[in-house]
Amino acid sequence: MAEEPVLALENVNLRFGEKWALKNVSLKLNPGETRIIFGEAGSGKTSLLKAVVGLIGVDTGRIELFGKDVGASKERDLFALRSRAGFLFQEGGLFDSLTVGENVEYPLVNQVSANGQPAVENPQEKVREALRFVELEHTMEQFPAELSGGMRRRVGIARATVTEPPLVLYDSPTAGLDPITANTIMALVAKERDVKNSASLIVTHRYQDGEIMADFQYDPAAQELVTMDTCKDERKRRRTRFIVMKGGEIVFFGTREELEKSSDSYVKRFVRKGDM
């Protein structure tokens, strides 16, 4: 089936001084697909996410986001493009001078759609819905500083997904959280993917995060994640791929089974490292 890819990178290179942030990176992402990105600190994972939406420019290579060349676009034109991609920052990146509700509302009232009008008519209802999705509706009036780390991350997810973007980029959604909170967050990420069929790039250190994405799906009837072992839909089963990065390069790309069978000592480090 010939689908227009959400995202396509071709031989992307980026160097900070002597250090390669991205080296000859190529990848493709179709609607509804997930890429789990592992790699040691400084291996270019965050740079990859930021380059995708043009937050940092790359030296050479081509990045196509929704069919548009990011590198050739002006900052002004990128605003419209970026509004179609949700971004969860490592620290949440919430505006601390705004309440939780205002934070989630921000993209709705400030993003301008192609015809020059704010994208949504009734932002309050959308905000409530997005916060209900991450089970934080009661925090509407609170400020981000009053929330715990896990709650802030969830607000970040609500803000990144409130406009229902076809692509969501998650930068370490579970870093520094206890396993239970981390699993809650990953369940939300999977739910987001399955309910809205959005594509996602997920940078993480936890192998389990990848397992959840690869092996589980959200069951709208039961309102929880269920295993995909019995799932007959081959497409669904194969939509999650794993990427391992080292020194800006993609050193592994493949399915979970292939990842677990890998004999490369660097790649093996990211398999089943358990709770961190």
Nearer to other proteins, 32 or 54 (CB): 54
Does residue number 159 form part of the binding site for other proteins (CB under 8 A)? yes
Among 14, 37, 85, 182, binds other proteins (CB under 8 A): 85
Nearer to other proteins, 189 or 212 (CB): 189
Cβ at position 50, least distance to other proteins in Å: 7
Nearer to other proteins, 84 or 241 (CB): 84
Window 11 to 50, contacts with other proteins (CB under 8 A): 50
Which region among 35-43, 58-66, 80-88, 196-204 touches other proteins (by CB under 8 A)? 80-88
Window 91 to 150, contacts with other proteins (CB under 8 A): 91, 93-96, 106-107, 110-112
Q: What is the dihedral angle through the alpha carbons of 248, 253, 257, 260, rounded to the nearest 10 degrees?
A: -20
Does residue number 151 form part of the binding site for other proteins (CB under 8 A)? no
Exposed e or buried b per residue across 142-170, where buried means at least 16 C-beta atoms within 10 angstroms of its C-beta: ebbeebeebbbbbbbbbbbbbbebbbbbb
Cβ at position 96, least distance to other proteins in Å: 7
Which region among 4-12, 89-97, 129-137, 247-255 touches other proteins (by CB under 8 A)? 89-97
Does residue number 90 form part of the binding site for other proteins (CB under 8 A)? yes
Nearer to other proteins, 192 or 210 (CB): 192
- Beta partners for residue 29, in sequence order: 7
Among 8, 80, 231, 276, binds other proteins (CB under 8 A): 80
Nearer to other proteins, 84 or 126 (CB): 84
Count of residues engaged in binding other proteins, rule: CB under 8 A: 27
Cβ at position 156, least distance to other proteins in Å: 9
Cβ at position 174, least distance to other proteins in Å: 17
Nearer to other proteins, 159 or 239 (CB): 159
Under 8 Å between Cβ of 201 and 50: no
Among 13, 30, 73, 83, binds other proteins (CB under 8 A): 83
Q: Which of 138, 136, 104, 140 is nearest to 123 (CA)?
A: 104
- Residues in contact with other proteins by the rule CB under 8 A: 50, 53, 55, 75-76, 78-85, 87, 89-91, 93-96, 106-107, 110-112, 159
